[in-house]
């Protein structure tokens, strides 16, 4: 049972409302004398039945227990002369108050009532059956030990009803009346219906708190993009359903890959509920992991499809995953049932790029085939990825929505991606209330995810390697290690800092030696030099087919091995281990203008 002030979701439940309508129809057939003996009792019950519907609808949208009790208090009248209310939580062996309305003293933390006492609320918590007390005498006779504890001036009758959440009695709702109440069948049914509505409100609050925690976590994970990649610029936007706090199944991600490449993914899990959001979070994490492992776009989507099918056979997802190389502008794209990307040329011309693709992820039809499309971006060309919420918002179909997106994407220059992203959202989002600038604008019932990728104008260090060395050292060619050292020295013959030549040869020898000594596979050496003299970068990679990942050790003074990763830590400007589809790659980088060696 949440404390006063807990949150709730703004979603009604038609099935629950239908049940309450049937309850109200039953109440409409009930007749009984009014509390003050005047007026038409049947008409008064019908009036309260209508109020009950309105109250029930509002209770489904309350954000705290205090709000819910305040709403119920509005039913005060001759039939229900409500005076005070309190909600108790059954916690282990005691009841304690977690919320009240016009019931002073109830919030006292020292006020605890044993569940095995004669207090009517404790009896309700034990049995799950309501207790109705029409007068102070009836209350005193039934509960002499606790009557004085909860007796308040002006209270003439009481009702105690169970609150059931998730199928269990978890609390008690107590309401007091400021006039005697004849506890007829009609009044009892009305109070039972109110307790049911209050139980649903409490359950919504429980669920709403969990939903918002997940929602805030997911939204915060999509508030930015990956770290800057030289030669590529990205901008991204995410708008949840209705512009509110809830998230659905849409997502995007930007992933820094080896070799300065950038991975980008956008997707949409079927549905707009929190289950879709939970699946989205898991699928997003899985795709991120597959990309980091070094799998290509087709393999990433194939693995993601199997992953989603194992999670939930009833949900599918559309998705695009692509890898962009800033040096060449090459983008390798795989598509799983997702809307096609849009290419914006430097002059503002927008082209819908039709990409071959496969079925949505998770269909589990044993037809996972995601062909890789290759596109080369020129300088200042922009690739736009989005979910269907951006296209179809406002009742548009894919064609008319595309025309609207094109009209928003074309104007202006390619310089400011953030302004372009805002303009795209502005084309489909209704303006917010100017009186409430902090409130998000209202949008349609679908989420929107948007991702823009621009290839930047030429920058230093971009372009193909100036020099390149490729060598393969087999296990039975130990003498090739000496030859590899000589060739690497030749590659660096005019390096501005001679001491770095020795460092490069030492580190490369360690990596090659580790493969030849500790595995049964060949070692492949790749060395690339890029950039202008004085500002060049050397990148060395050693690849083998062994899945054993190297671990850093602390070698002793006389040890003949175990120093490779220690040296990388000390001498390389950057280094890491990259898992490959088969085997691994250990790489390091030395910058000609980098910091001095320790």
Determine how many CB atoms are found less than 10 A away from the CB of residue 58. Answer: 16
The parent domain of residue 523 ranges over 467-591
The answer on 100 and 34 residing in a single domain is: yes
Distance separating alpha carbons of residues 358 and 356, to the nearest angstrom: 7
- Tell whether 144 and 269 lie within a shared domain: no
Contacts (Cβ under 8 Å, ≥6 apart) of 596: none
Provide the CB-side half-sphere exposure for 266 (13 A, CA): 27
Three-state secondary structure call for residue 542: strand
499 and 434 in a single domain? The answer is no
Give the largest Cα separation in the chain, rounded: 111
Compute CA 301 distance to the chain's CA centroid, rounded to the nearest angstrom.
20
For 411-462, the DSSP string reads SS-TT-HHHHHHHHHHTTSPP--TT-TTSPPP--SS-EEEEEEEEPSP-TT-
User: Is residue 68 domain-shared with residue 201, that is, in the same domain?
Assistant: yes
Tell me, yes or no, whether 598 lies in a domain: no
Whether residues 332 and 395 fall in one domain: yes
Choose the final residue of a domain: 397, 429, 455.
455
Kindly state whether residues 334 and 277 are assigned to the same domain. Answer: yes
The enclosing domain of 343 has a CATH number of: 3.60.40.10
- CA 169, 174, 175, 179 torsion: positive or negative? positive
**Beta strands in 102-200, from DSSP E residues, in sequence order:** 113-114, 131-133, 157-165, 168-177
The upper half-sphere exposure of residue 466, i.e. CA atoms within 13 Å in the direction of its Cβ, equals 16
Q: What's the token pair of residue 240?
A: 């949840």
- The answer to whether 540 touches 503, Cβ cutoff 8 Å, is no
Backbone angles phi, psi at 298, to 5 degrees: -65, -45
Q: pTM for this structure?
A: 0.49
CB 387 within 8 A of CB 266: yes
Into how many domains does the chain fold?
3
Residues 389 and 265 in one domain: yes
Q: Could you tell me if residue 6 is inside a domain?
A: no
189, two tokens: 């049914």
Q: Give the span between the Cα atoms of 292 and 585, in whole angstroms.
A: 13
Instruction: Single out the residue in 392, 423, 455 at which a domain terminates.
Output: 455
Pair 440, 487 in one domain: no
In a domain, 185, yes or no: yes
Residue 582: which of 187, 258, 296 has the closest Cα? 296
CATH number at residue 575: 3.30.565.10
Same domain as 586, residue 445: no
**Cβ atoms 80, 48 nearer than 8 A:** yes
**Assigned domain for 156 exists:** yes
Q: Are residues 435 and 567 in the same domain?
A: no
Nearest to 280 by CA among 255, 258, 312: 312
Evaluate whether residue 526 is within a structural domain.
yes
Q: Please check whether residue 460 lies inside any domain of the structure.
A: no
Q: Are strands 157-165 and 373-376 parallel, antiparallel or unpaired?
A: unpaired
- pLDDT per residue over 354-407, tens digit each? 888 999 999 867 767 899 999 999 899 999 999 988 887 767 787 888 888 888
- 125 sits in the region (left: phi over 0; alpha: psi -120 to 50; else beta) called alpha
| Domain contains 1 | no
Q: What is the DSSP string of 8-73?
A: ------HHHHHHHHHHHHHHHT-----TTS-S-HHHHHHHHHHHHHHHHHHHTT-SSHHHHHHHHH
Give the CA angle between residues 195, 197, 198 to the nearest 5°.
65
**Coil, strand, or helix at residue 575?**
strand
19 lies in some domain? yes
Q: What CATH code is carried by the domain that includes residue 106? A: 3.30.450.40
Q: pLDDT tens digits, the chain, 598 residues: what are they? A: 433 333 333 333 444 444 444 444 444 444 344 434 445 554 554 555 556 656 666 676 666 777 788 888 888 887 788 888 888 887 767 888 888 888 877 766 667 888 888 889 899 988 889 999 988 899 988 888 788 777 777 788 999 999 887 667 878 999 999 888 888 888 888 888 888 888 877 766 554 444 454 445 555 555 555 455 788 999 988 876 644 445 567 888 898 888 788 999 999 988 766 677 778 888 988 999 999 888 889 999 999 999 998 887 788 999 999 999 998 899 999 999 999 999 998 888 888 888 889 999 998 677 678 999 999 998 999 999 999 888 877 677 878 888 888 889 999 889 889 899 988 888 876 544 333 334 333 444 577 889 999 999 875 444 556 788 888 888 877 678 888 898 899 889 889 999 999 999 999 999 998 888 888 888 999 999 988 888 899 999 999 988 776 655 544 443 444 466 788 888 999 888 887 777 888 999 999 987 776 5
pLDDT in tens, 127-147: 889 999 988 899 988 888 788
- Let me know whether 449 and 480 are in one domain: no
Please tell me the distance from the alpha carbon of residue 80 to that of residue 35, in angstroms, as a whole number.
Answer: 8
Shared domain for 28 and 103, answered yes or no, is yes
C-alpha dist (Å) from residue 540 to 280, 385, 450, 506: 37, 34, 36, 12
Identify the domain boundary among 181, 213, 245: 213
């Amino acid at each position: 049972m949440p404390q006063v002030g807990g949150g709730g979701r703004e979603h009604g439940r038609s099935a629950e409302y239908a049940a309450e309508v049937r309850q109200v129809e039953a109440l409409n057939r009930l007749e009984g004398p009014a509390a003050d003996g005047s007026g038409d009792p049947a008409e008064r019950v019908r009036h309260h039945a209508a109020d009950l519907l309105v109250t029930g609808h509002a209770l489904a949208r309350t954000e705290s227990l205090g709000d819910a009790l305040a709403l119920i208090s509005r039913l005060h009248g001759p039939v229900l002369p409500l005076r005070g209310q309190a909600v108790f939580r059954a916690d282990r062996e005691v009841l304690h108050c977690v919320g009240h309305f016009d019931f002073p003293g109830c919030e006292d933390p020292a006020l605890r009532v044993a569940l095995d006492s004669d207090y009517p609320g404790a009896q309700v918590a034990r049995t799950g059956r309501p207790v109705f007390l029409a007068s102070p005498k009836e209350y005193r006779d039934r509960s002499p030990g606790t009557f004085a504890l909860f007796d308040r001036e002006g209270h003439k009758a009481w009702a105690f009803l169970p609150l059931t959440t998730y199928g269990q009695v978890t609390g008690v709702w107590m309401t007091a009346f400021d006039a005697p109440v004849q506890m007829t069948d009609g009044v009892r049914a009305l109070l039972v219906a109110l307790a049911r509505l209050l139980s649903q409100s409490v359950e919504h609050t429980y669920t709403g708190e969990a939903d918002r925690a997940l929602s805030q976590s997911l939204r915060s994970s999509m508030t930015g993009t990956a770290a800057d990649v030289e030669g590529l610029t990205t901008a991204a936007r995410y708008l949840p359903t209705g512009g509110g706090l809830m998230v659905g199944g849409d997502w995007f991600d930007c992933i820094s890959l080896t070799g300065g490449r950038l991975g980008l993914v956008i997707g949409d899990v079927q549905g707009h509920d929190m289950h879709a959001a939970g699946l989205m979070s898991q699928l997003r994490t899985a795709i991120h992991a597959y990309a980091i492992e070094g799998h290509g776009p087709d393999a990433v989507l194939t693995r993601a499809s199997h992953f989603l099918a194992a999670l939930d056979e009833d949900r599918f997802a559309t998705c695009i995953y692509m890898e962009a190389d800033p040096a060449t502008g090459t983008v390798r794209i795989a598509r799983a049932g997702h809307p096609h990307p849009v290419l914006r040329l430097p002059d503002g011309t927008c082209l819908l790029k039709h990409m071959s693709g496969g079925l949505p992820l998770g269909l589990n039809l044993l037809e996972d085939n995601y062909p890789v499309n290759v596109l080369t971006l020129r300088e200042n060309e922009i690739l736009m990825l989005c979910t269907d919420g951006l296209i179809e918002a406002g009742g548009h179909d894919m064609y008319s929505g595309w025309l609207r997106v094109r009209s928003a994407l074309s104007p202006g220059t390619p310089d400011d991606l953030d302004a372009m992203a805002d303009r795209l959202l502005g084309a489909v989002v209704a303006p917010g209330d100017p009186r409430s600038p902090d409130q998000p604008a209202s949008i349609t019932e679908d989420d929107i995810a948007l991702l823009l990728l621009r290839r930047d104008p030429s920058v230093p260090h971009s372009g193909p390697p100036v020099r390149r060395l490729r060598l393969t050292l087999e296990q039975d060619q130990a003498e090739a290690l000496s030859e590899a050292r000589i060739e690497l020295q030749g590659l660096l013959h005019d390096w501005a800092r001679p001491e770095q030549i020795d460092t490069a040869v030492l580190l490369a020898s360690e990596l090659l030696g580790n493969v030849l000594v500790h595995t049964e596979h060949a070692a492949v050496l790749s060395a690339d030099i890029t950039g202008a003299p004085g500002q060049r970068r050397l990148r060395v990679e050693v690849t083998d087919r062994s899945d054993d990942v190297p671990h850093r050790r602390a070698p002793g003074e006389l040890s003949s091995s175990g120093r490779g990763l220690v040296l990388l830590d000390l001498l390389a400007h950057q280094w890491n281990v990259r898992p490959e589809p088969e085997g691994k790659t250990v790489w390091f980088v030395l910058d000609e203008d980098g910091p001095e060696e320790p």
